[in-house]
């Protein structure tokens, strides 16, 4: 689903995996929203996500998470 907030960016609710997660994605965990600031490839397809708040999250290759992605305007 894509939504446009008046005066705001275009956002999309997506499902991310270790393969598709990107910097800037906002992931909802435990009722809190975390923005991905950096990520590192780990063995066997896993990734370690670094959030703007400093927390780390390691996700397995098959982990699926709900996220919000800001879409660029063309």
pLDDT average, residue stretch 44-72: 93
- Give long-range contacts, CB 8 A cutoff, 24+ apart: 18-25: 18/45, 18/46, 18/47, 18/59, 18/60, 18/61, 18/62, 18/63, 19/45, 19/61, 21/47, 21/49, 21/59, 21/65, 21/67, 22/69, 24/69, 24/70, 25/67, 25/68, 25/69
- Whether this model's pTM surpasses 0.85: no
Task: State residue 71's pLDDT score.
Answer: 77
pLDDT one-digit tens code per residue, 3-46:
555 556 688 899 999 999 999 999 999 889 999 999 999 999 99
73 has pLDDT over 90: no
């Amino acid at each position: 689903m894509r939504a446009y907030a008046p005066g705001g960016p275009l956002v999309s609710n997506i499902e991310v995996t270790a393969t598709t997660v990107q910097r800037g994605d906002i992931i909802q965990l435990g009722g809190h929203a975390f923005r991905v600031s950096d990520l590192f490839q780990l063995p066997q397809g896993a990734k370690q996500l670094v959030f703007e708040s400093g927390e780390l999250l390691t996700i397995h290759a098959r982990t699926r998470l709900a996220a919000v992605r800001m879409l660029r305007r063309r």
